[in-house]
Structure 1
Amino acid sequence: MISIKNIVKTYTTGDETLVALDNVSLEIMAGEFTAIMGPSGSGKSTLMNILGLLDRFDSGTYILNGQNVSDLNDKESAKIRNKEIGFIFQSFNLMPRMSVLENVELPLVYAGVKSKERKERALKALERVGLSDRVKHKPNEISGGQKQRVAIARAIVNNPSVLMADEPTGNLDSKTTVDIMRIFQELNAEGTTILMITHESEVSLYTKRILTFNDGALVDDQPQKSVYKGAFA
């Protein structure tokens, strides 16, 4: 699903050059559920931005679902991003003046899907995350956990090749975190490939593989021997 080789990303501020990713290579197979961990400044967010086609890199190769996406222009990147990738963020990134249903429809609007089909697919995605009874609500009328469910529905409505989640439980309490992680596990069991940044070791236990970054390098890559499915203590 994802193959990167010798990815280098640097940032220059004045006379100082910061190496955000230092010759990183890795592969993510279709159907994996992978956590990306590491301290602040380790390169995990930079990696996610590159994998999500939100940022460019200095050198290396990136193959996404069989397509070389290393040198796409902004328009090409946006097209591939909307088709192949579903994003889920810590802060939900919902449009406050739109209803829950309209928020979920947004990727389909960008994809040029007609109104009737948009609504049908958005309703199906909301049903998938247990929010069929909240379609007319605005984001400020639902809880944090429900907002993240809306964000997940929006991310899956286009049937993307991969879901990329950046600290998706960072603003949630422990009970809601369990609910959200179970949704991710269910989606993964249905074949969805998921990449997730988290700083919470308990959350990483729900995944099948943990990548650890430090100082811009991949320092550990471990499969999970036992995937967690219970509640947090």
Structure 2
Amino acid sequence: MVTDYPSPAISSKKTPVTVWVFFALAALDIAVNAAAGPAAVATAVHVSGDKLTARSLQLGALAGVTKAGVLAFVEFVSYTGIPAPAWLVLILFASSFGICVLVTAEISNLVLGETPSALLIAAIVAAIPLGGECIGIYQFHRRSTRITTDQSLHVLAAGGLSGGNGGVQIFVMGLDALGGYVFARMAHNEGYDICAYNVAAAAGAVYGAITGIFHTGIGCMAGAQSTISVNGHYETTNIFGTRKGYDENWRTNAGLI
């Protein structure tokens, strides 16, 4: 419900959402990615006709946890209202480029005992179509506020972890498949035959589908919200909490001027 009429302004007292809401969403996101990684590996093995091993499943889970953990860490740090230069460094670290390089280096060291520069190049190129994975991060920074002295959060939702537009998430699923294809293709061009191109694309599609469905569901829940506005002082509430603020153009929006 939205109302705008001349009357005493609503109370400025804020409704806190504890930091545990963020931790709960972050834990769910990490768990989903930890499951999506092995699922992607299992898909790749099935398509290629190879034998599935416990080791490969563990590596898939590790890659998923690393990716989700980095994003959760950066989103949490952004609550503190860090300076712009530091935020830009974190954005680079949590971008598709930073995550792809980090995960590639991590898995390469575990499997090969080293990190070939050729695979890092492939990771950087594959990160280009995977840029959509970080959409939530940038949306989050624009919406978030800092942690108060009582360690409570005054936010509408827990940022990128609260999901996103369904259409955007479907688009991201396709980008994951493309990213897998590009990585395999670039690795081949650099002298490393990781797997067949269709195998990499299938693995990426499965990973994107699992994480995309989760984020879309959370995003739909976050989108179910109600807003009350009195004299420009608004209060928007959804299942994750409440956001309050002031709209300077409320008289124009209400048709009073």
Q: TM-score, normalised by structure 2?
A: 0.29
Higher helix fraction (1 or 2):
2
Q: TM-score, normalised by structure 1?
A: 0.31
Higher strand fraction (1 or 2):
1
* Larger Cα-atom Rg: 2
